[in-house]
Amino acid sequence: MLIGINAVAAFRHPRTGVEEYVYQLIKHLALLKESKKHNFVLYVSDNSNFDFPLPDNFKIKRLKWPFAMWTQLRLSAEMIKNKLEVFFVPVHVLPFIHPKKSIVTIHGLEYEYYPEMYPSNHLKYLRWSTKYALKNAQKIIVVSENTKNDLIKLYGANPEKIKVVYHGVENEFSISNSQFSISKPFILYIGRIELKKNIMGILEAYKILKKKYQVPHKLILAGSPGFGYDILKLKIKNLLKIKNLKLEIIETGYVPEKEKMLLLEKAEMFVFSSFYEGFGIPILEAQAACCPVITSNISSMPEVAGNGAILINPNNIEQITEAMYKIINDNEFKKRLVKEGQENIKRFSWEKCAQGTLKVLTE
């Protein structure tokens, strides 16, 4: 089969959840023995190259376009010019013109639960593109049962059309010397610094933890600013003014892969109390690094975390606080949590993700 893939997201930086998915999926598709039966065309919009070798049956096609709407105009034009047997869009938006056998990955519907956190035009586009994909794609890949259920509940999607293919995680990683000289102990969050990730809840829980239990821990927030960052920045500023609490809140900004895994390896715990996740790769990364996890008991997070995390209500600050203290105060419990996390990540790999995706593309 001749399979086209919209590969643009693999080159976006910084590479966060969706971008990491596209990058790792293409990398592992290229490694599969089953892929050798097919030819792949990777559509990109610039001169970027992958930092891993591509086999001869994988070709990069650069589509130059000086205007907006690259997907709907330039990519559509390419679909007319060069016929594909299968077209795969790993990031939500299907071009107007596409082969009959087109498959789209929809990652999550955060925007339906928290529409106030999206600009109105972007919100309209997300809703339109989801409806368009559900109507026009032959199949839809989702990254969790939770996202499948959301599509059925909120959009009336046909369940027969939807296939669940989980994300993966790198189970082996190398640790390098870090640019950070952060002494232990510390509590860690990694992800975009924005309101929908419940950073406000983490900050409040950390304040109570320090006040109630006088623990020596720092709080590290690692990630790029997102929606509502100005509100969070002001909150941090005001917290640091509180006398006698000795709050230490460190923002690192975006951290590259090796730095991220080093932080996870050295952290006392990883707190990921988001209000909604389509999947939640950071949960698995923390488990792979033997870091105890606290995450939310809603959306896809229980599905992803398995038994390897303390599940909390993200709206309950006391629960987040007590979960933090449980890990600090109970070493045996902490060890069991890490062991459960190590068992849980055996369910996930990028190779399995690539195999499952290829099966959907070719069946």
Given this model, what pLDDT does residue 172 score?
59
Q: What's the pLDDT at 181?
A: 62
Residue 46: predicted pLDDT: 79
- The more confidently predicted of residues 310 and 180 is 310
36 pLDDT higher than 70: yes
Q: Which two tokens stand for residue 142?
A: 């989702």
Q: How far is CA 293 from CA 71, 77, 96, 206, in A?
A: 38, 46, 42, 15
| pLDDT at residue 63 tops 60 | yes
Per-residue pLDDT at 48 exceeds 80: no
CB 133 within 8 A of CB 117: no
2, pLDDT greater than 90: yes
Query: pTM value?
Result: 0.92
Confidence of residue 49 (pLDDT cuts 50, 70, 90): confident
Question: Is the pLDDT at 177 greater than 60, yes or no?
Answer: no
Ranges for all domains in the chain classified under CATH 3.40.50.2000:
2-168+349-362, 186-347
Which range is least confidently modeled, 150-159, 175-184, 215-224?
175-184
Indicate the range of 142-156, 166-180, 189-203, 306-320 predicted with least confidence. Answer: 166-180
Q: Give 352's pLDDT tier (boundaries 50, 70, 90).
A: very high
Q: Is the pLDDT of residue 294 over 70?
A: yes
**Residue written as token pair 């510390």:** 186
Domain at 2-168+349-362, CATH from 3.30.1330.10, 3.40.50.300, 3.40.50.2000, 3.20.20.140: 3.40.50.2000
Q: How high is the pLDDT of residue 25?
A: 96
What is the sign of the dihedral through the CA atoms of 197, 203, 209 and 215? positive
pLDDT exceeds 90 at position 295: yes
Residue 339: the pLDDT is 97
Cα→Cα distances 246→191, 209, 268, 328, Å: 25, 11, 18, 18
Class level of CATH domain 186-347? alpha beta
What is the model's pLDDT at position 179? 57
Task: For residue 89, list its beta bridge partners.
Answer: 104
**What pLDDT score does 92 carry?**
85
Nearest to 287 by CA among 164, 170, 139, 194: 170
Cβ atoms of 196 and 275 closer than 8 Å? yes
Q: If you average pLDDT over residues 272-299, what whole number do you get?
A: 96
pLDDT at 357: 98
Q: Higher-confidence residue: 348 or 11? A: 348
